[in-house]
């Protein structure tokens, strides 16, 4: 039961940090799930996050796997509610107040001010991830390759993730 309350607390807190995208919360997610609570190891967290990019729907559904590992079915359920509940309520409140917020003079200031911070958080998240995922020349080339292809061509990123898995398996077979 202790695990369940920890899951609820950790994921409710993480959800409020996901400004700009789920990756913004990644450094904190690593700290809390790997170092503080030891629900999984860093390679496992990186793997689950990455596999989650191949799944359809919102790209952070890998939190379900963490919840299940730490607390079974109930853990998974609590994790999802904790991770999506608080931000859903906040967004719902904003939707209800939209008419009033449209004229609020601070609104553009908040949007403009938070944009660079949220991009910075995504970048910091990707550095945390890269430190664990980029282990040598081969993985560096995959990451740069995926980045350049996505910037140049309109291609479904999930296909590139699947392609990179095949590259990883091939290079293992060849060694």
Partner 1 sequence: MSNPEANPLPQVADATAPGVGASTWDIFVEFLITGATSFGGPVPYLRTALVDKRHWIDDKQFVEMLSISQSLPGLNATNLAILVGEKLRGIWGSIAAILGICLPGGVLMYIVGIIYRQHGDHAWITAGLKGVAAAAVGLILSTVVELSKKSLAGKFDFIFMAMTVIAVSRLHQSVARTLIAVGILAILFHWPACAQKTNATQ
Nearer to partner 1, 1 or 98 (CB): 98
Q: Are 16 and 88 in contact (CB under 8 A)?
A: no
Nearer to partner 1, 2 or 103 (CB): 103
| Length of the chain measured in residues | 175
Q: Is the dihedral of CA 153, 155, 161, 167 positive or negative?
A: negative
* Distance from C-alpha of 67 to C-alpha of 73, rounded to nearest angstrom: 8
CB of 13 to partner 1, least distance (A): 8
Q: Are 43 and 74 in contact (CB under 8 A)?
A: no
CB of 8 to partner 1, least distance (A): 16
Q: Are 34 and 65 in contact (CB under 8 A)?
A: no
Nearer to partner 1, 3 or 87 (CB): 87
CB of 9 to partner 1, least distance (A): 13
Q: Token digits for 36? A: 């503080």
CB of 4 to partner 1, least distance (A): 16
Nearer to partner 1, 6 or 14 (CB): 14
């Amino acid at each position: 039961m202790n695990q369940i309350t920890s899951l609820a607390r950790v994921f409710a807190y993480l959800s409020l940090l996901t400004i700009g995208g789920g990756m913004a919360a990644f450094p904190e997610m690593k700290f809390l799930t790997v170092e503080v609570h030891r629900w999984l190891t860093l390679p496992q967290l990186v793997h689950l996050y990455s596999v989650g990019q191949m799944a359809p729907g919102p790209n952070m559904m890998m939190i379900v796997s963490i919840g299940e590992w730490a607390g079974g079915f109930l853990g998974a359920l609590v994790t999802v509610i904790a991770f999506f509940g608080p931000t859903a309520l906040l967004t719902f409140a904003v939707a209800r107040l939209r008419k009033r917020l449209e004229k609020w003079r601070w609104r553009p200031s908040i949007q403009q001010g938070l944009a660079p911070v949220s991009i910075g958080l995504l970048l910091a998240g990707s550095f945390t991830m890269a430190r664990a995922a980029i282990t040598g020349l081969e993985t560096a080339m995959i990451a740069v390759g995926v980045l350049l292809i996505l910037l140049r061509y309109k291609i479904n990123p999930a296909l590139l993730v699947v392609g990179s898995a095949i590259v990883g398996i091939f290079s293992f077979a060849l060694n």
